[in-house]
Amino acid sequence: IVHEINNPLTVLSGRVQMLLAREKLEYRDEIVHIREATRKLTEMTRNILRFARRKRLDQAALPLDLNPLIEEVINFFLPLMKKIEFRTELAPILPQIWGNAGQIEQVMTNLMVNAADAIEDQPEKEVLISTGMGSLADILTAEQERGWETRFALAAQERDLHRDSVFAAVADNGPGREA
């Protein structure tokens, strides 16, 4: 689908450049705006393609750094969700984790979409993405004390909640759900 969008976008971009090359142009300012919009769309399609290609390549679990992976997902979302204030609290130093980058990106994408949906009706829309290391029980307690709804992708047994782990969390200022 992205290739289908890219083809007419390339034609549009070329035509805009041809128009801007003319010396006398009545609607120059409007055409400059069209050029900027096409540039942004082109960048978005590149990001989508890069994201999709990476998922195909990342079939195996490998050692990886969590923060750059999280930043890539955030950068993918920023142009799509302009009305949301994304904040990050990424731990400056984390050990590498063993994982599948494509699957982690998909989980983070789902968590961010869920957070965006949860704050749709909020006057101020805030999403906090954090990474760190600690026991999951302590992390959940701290997030609840903030009054934020934290969306963890977690499948852990009770004994694992008190063991130090590397984590990524997505929290929002939405109303939460009734249990």
Tens of pLDDT, residues 18-62: 888 877 778 888 888 888 888 888 877 777 777 766 655 546 677
Give this prediction's pTM.
0.59
Q: Which letter does DSSP use for residue 170 in this model?
A: E
What is the DSSP pairing of strand 126-135 with strand 62-64? unpaired
> Whole-angstrom Cα distance, residue 122 to residue 126?
9
Query: Look-up: residue for tokens 């980058």?
Result: 101
Confidence at residue 161, expressed as pLDDT on a 0 to 100 scale: 65
User: pLDDT averaged over the chain?
Assistant: 77
> Whole-angstrom Cα distance, residue 145 to residue 149?
10
**CA atoms in the 13 A half-sphere facing the CB of 24:** 0
Confidence at residue 67, expressed as pLDDT on a 0 to 100 scale: 93
